[in-house]
Amino acid sequence: MVHHVGRTWPHGPRQLVSTLAWLRICAIGGQTLTIAFVARVLDLSIPVAALCSAIGLLAAFSLLAFWRLRQNARIGAWEPVAHIAIDTLVLGYLLYLTGGASNPFISLLVMPITLAATALPLRSVTLVAVLSVGTYLLLMRFHVPLPEVSDINSAGGFNLHLTGMAISFAITAGMLGFFIARLARALRAQQALAELERERALRDEGILAIATQAASTAHELNTPLSTIRTLLGELGREHASNPALNDDIALLIGQAERCRDILKELVKVGSNPLAGLAEWISVADLCEAARDSFGLLRPEAEASFSIDAEIGARRIAVVPALHHAVVNLLNNAADASIANGDSRIEVTVSGSQDTLQLDVRDFGSGMNANVRPTAGLRFGTTKANGLGLGLALANATAERFGGTLVAMAAVDGGTRQRLRLPLATLDNPRHER
């Protein structure tokens, strides 16, 4: 009697119960067709009423299983074992009525062990194996013999037992191949996920080390910057009659002030999250602030912003880390464009009711297709003077807010960095991940 055909892959008790429910439907159909073929076509004397009663019981249990799956209640690890036990007992009863261990479909008793091994702990698999082996041993001793089929097994016909064994072998081989292939695929996916998490952990560990060193550096740099600022002011007053030198001194003073502002922002990045502080501004204001900061850092680059009016007016809670993430994306895009002889950067801000999306497109030579999937997961750079921190910090910030940062090839060349952030997290920064 035909039994199991796979449908879903079991990863846990609920998934395994779902798989068993669909397999049970297939088993009921296959068993019914097999009984009809044997009784009507082969005209063998088998206990049709008793066989149909067992299949009817299995059908009633199948309806109960589907009802159970529709409930939201948790399915414990014992439930798949109970389902497998009922399936095994019903199959064993059907085999008992049709020759017992001599029935060519006796090998289907292996299938419950295969299913259990894919999703259940060793103790449950052991119980299922003991039940299947015990059923097999009992059927060797107790069964209703099949009627003689010598006329069918004659030289001019076919061997019914061998044909049944061939069908049983095909079912078993197909089931084993299917589940082993799915198991191998699941293992590969888990290995890939584990590798991704390992890279993220290494990146976060590196960021933490850099942050620790940056805090120490900020403290040490504050004094020499104050000294430089004071000396530059005195030089400006001493050479007030030299316009060219005064312009250079003014530029140096501006850069020194910018360095001090960066140090203050560095301290602010660390102190605001600890205090739970965030600045409530609109998305348009966030972009404007990022444009101003970027303009001071890279005056040679041309950044054009296209902001959806509705999302631009949306107010969100912005912590310094998010502002720096946007500036880092702009700075990386500027490096790529300028390295390719262009100075343009295009920024598109859009979104929906629950997501803010910011696209930063450069006009560089493009990012290697093999590098794009892991961009931002490790400290790496193709720039001669780069540190490999920009994308890593931006990606870490995106993950911290439950968002994503994905690199993709732009249509007309270059690379598009897409930052997507859930607005629910931006509305409540205390719940950042």
Residue 424 belongs to a domain with what CATH number? 3.30.565.10
Do 142 and 281 lie in a common domain? no
Give how many domains the chain has, as a whole number: 2
* Gap between the Cα atoms of 187 and 195, Å rounded: 12
Decide if 418 is inside a domain: yes
Decide if 204 is inside a domain: no
Give the pair of three-digit tokens for residue 397: 């910030």
Residue-number span of the structural domain to which 140 is assigned: 13-147
* Gap between the Cα atoms of 12 and 34, Å rounded: 32
Decide if 259 is inside a domain: no
In the listed set 147, 170, 205, which residue is the last one of a domain according to the structure?
A: 147
In the listed set 87, 121, 147, which residue is the last one of a domain according to the structure?
A: 147
Give me the pLDDT at residue 215, please. 59
Do 282 and 427 lie in a common domain? yes
In the listed set 147, 182, 208, which residue is the last one of a domain according to the structure?
A: 147
Other C-beta atoms closer than 10 Å to the C-beta of 86 total: 18
Decide if 52 is inside a domain: yes
Give me the pLDDT at residue 394, please. 78
Decide if 199 is inside a domain: no
Decide if 184 is inside a domain: no
Give the pair of three-digit tokens for residue 31: 């068993």
Do 427 and 281 lie in a common domain? yes
Angle between helices 320-339 and 243-275 (to 10 degrees): 130
* Gap between the Cα atoms of 46 and 32, Å rounded: 13
Give the pair of three-digit tokens for residue 291: 């444009």
Give me the pLDDT at residue 102, please. 85
Which amino acid, residue 195? E
Closest to 143 (Cα-Cα) out of 101, 184, 109 = 101
Decide if 166 is inside a domain: no
3-state SS, 102-158, equals HCHHHHHHHHHHHHHHHHCCHHHHHHHHHHHHHHHHHHHHCCCCCCCCCCCCCCCCC
Decide if 425 is inside a domain: yes
Give me the pLDDT at residue 217, please. 65
Give the pair of three-digit tokens for residue 124: 């449950």
Q: How confident is the chain (433 residues) per 10-residue block, as mean pLDDT?
A: 39 78 85 85 84 92 90 83 91 90 85 80 89 92 76 51 76 74 73 71 61 61 77 81 82 81 65 57 90 84 90 85 84 87 90 88 76 49 50 77 84 86 75 50
Do 285 and 425 lie in a common domain? yes
